[in-house]
């Protein structure tokens, strides 16, 4: 069973940066995807970024974070990262790490992700 634990959330001012981490364990399949999703109070869950693991490492980003966020994966540490720069108040949300046994999925395909972490809160003040 896949177990995901996020960390790195916090409070920053607009324009600041944060790096989220997601430690993964129990992944037994090769060639899979991992992603970051977020949900703000009163809003639907939104896909942020995805990456193919053990594949070509291709990434996808939501348009709202393109050019500001970078997703990466450290295979040796089995850890997923999300570097968030130029943060805006609208980035405030609970951020979740997720894994999918499928490849070729983008951030709009939350349905394809079957393992989820508990989330880490990101708050960006004006």
Q: What is the pLDDT of residue 54?
A: 79
Whether 22 has a pLDDT exceeding 90, the answer reads yes
Q: How confident is the model at residue 47 (pLDDT cuts 50, 70, 90)?
A: very high
Contact 48, 82 (CB under 8 A): yes
What would the mean pLDDT of 28-55 be, rounded to a whole number? 91
Tell me which residue of 87, 83, 86, 84 sits closest to 72, measured CA to CA: 83
- What are the tens digits of pLDDT across the range 61-72? 999 999 999 999
């Amino acid at each position: 069973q896949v177990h995901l634990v996020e960390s790195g959330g916090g409070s920053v001012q607009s324009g600041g940066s944060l790096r989220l981490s997601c430690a993964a364990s129990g992944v037994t399949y090769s060639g899979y995807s991992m992603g970051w999703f977020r949900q703000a109070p009163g809003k639907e869950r939104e896909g942020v970024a995805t990456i193919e693991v053990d594949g070509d490492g291709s990434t996808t980003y939501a348009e709202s974070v393109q050019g500001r966020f970078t997703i990466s994966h450290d295979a040796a540490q089995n850890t997923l990262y999300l570097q968030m720069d130029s943060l805006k108040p609208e980035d405030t949300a609970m951020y979740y790490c997720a894994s999918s046994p499928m490849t070729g999925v983008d951030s709009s395909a939350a349905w394809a992700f079957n393992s989820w972490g508990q989330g880490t809160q990101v708050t960006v003040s004006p």
